Amino acid sequence: MSVLPDPGASRAVLVGTGRYEHLEQLPAVSNNVRALSGLLRGPLSLRLPEGHVTVVEDPAEARTVVRAVRQAAAEATDTLIVYFAGHGLVDGQDQLCLALPHTEFGRVETALPYDWVREVLLLDSRAERHVVILDCCYSGLALGRMGAGTGLADQAAVEGSFLLAAAAETRTARAPVGDTYTAFTGALLEALRQGIPGGPALLDLGFLYQHLRRTMKARGHPEPQARDRNSGAQLALARNHADLPAVPVTAVAGASVGERPWPDPATIRTVMGFFTALGQVRVVSGLTQQAVSERSGGGISAGSVRRLLNRPDLPATWKTTALYLSACGVPEEQIELWRHVWQQLGTEEASADTGTPAPAGTVSEGSRRPRLFSVLRRRQDQ
């Protein structure tokens, strides 16, 4: 089952090197990282808070990149995305190196070994899922490292990992002169922004990879490569905007609202994620705020809907949220799962405010969310 990450518990580090002292210039790379940063923070994708997306452009030193990845790895508990665009080189041991502004051919000490990034994710990350996207020449070399016995994708403690590489280990990636973006990132941005007609409701990494392979091949560009471990391919980077309903649920003939791709409450880990998912419920329903009010039979006004979706903290009572979910068409059994998440988040919020231990029967910060995730999964499967 495809899932969107909780934006409050996720981080992204976007690294781009387009200006070089000794290598060919790649002016499109700056556009890559800025466009991807805006997309990940916007409504078309993950809605990550601004402070949760770190952009590192033309880093002077390898440690600048490693430091940014290490900080994000320490902060993310849901999903960590690491993206690099620039030149990729191969060292004497046939390992991938990421070129920095001062990198020179034949001088490995001037580049960033990909293994350094992999090691940070392996040793320092708290995230359940890792996504690595490499838009550079020879990026497929990273797949071999990922598949090693101690590689990133083999971490037993994470739910899933996915590596998406722009080119095979023996191929160069494309950055057409005059184009706004590099070929691979341009195709990725296009899919996330416009959606994919006939595709699934959530654009997960597995489907995106297959779509990008077909798209790049049709355009005469190198075909991307991928490696998936432990359901990493099920992580979605956006809703499929070509698949969203154009009319309210009441006008969809023969369609069951229970079959709609509602946000999964089992993926919610933070208050921010709770409200982001609530907003997605209305998008999936195809209803305006006024229509939600009308479908509630006067139980909740359009103004109350607006205030609910823009709250900075959890509602003290459950009634308004329950009315909103029901009016949007969410099935009763899913509304009950939402209520459990609301209760759990409220307990955590109260414990954090008072500095007191969680009530008996709850679990520690490190294990609380995985247990909730498992409970909700069991309830959905029943």
What single-letter DSSP state applies at residue 164?
A: E
CA atoms of 196 and 29, how far apart (whole Å): 24
Using the predicted structure, report yes or no on whether residue 253 has a pLDDT greater than 80: no
pTM, two decimal places: 0.78
CA atoms of 197 and 1, how far apart (whole Å): 20
CA atoms of 58 and 222, how far apart (whole Å): 25
Q: What is the mean pLDDT of residues 102-129?
A: 89
pLDDT at 216: 92
Using the predicted structure, report yes or no on whether residue 76 has a pLDDT greater than 80: yes
Q: Judge whether 341 and 274 are in contact, CB under 8 Å.
A: yes
Q: Judge whether 141 and 112 are in contact, CB under 8 Å.
A: no
What's the sign of the alpha-carbon dihedral 19, 23, 28, 32? negative
Poorest-pLDDT segment among 168-182, 215-229, 271-285:
168-182
Poorest-pLDDT segment among 87-101, 171-185, 207-221, 364-378:
364-378
Poorest-pLDDT segment among 116-120, 170-174, 206-210, 269-273:
170-174
Task: Give me the half-sphere count of Cα atoms (radius 13 Å) on the Cβ side of residue 28.
Answer: 19
Using the predicted structure, report yes or no on whether residue 368 has a pLDDT greater than 80: no
pLDDT at 232: 79
Using the predicted structure, report yes or no on whether residue 220 has a pLDDT greater than 60: yes
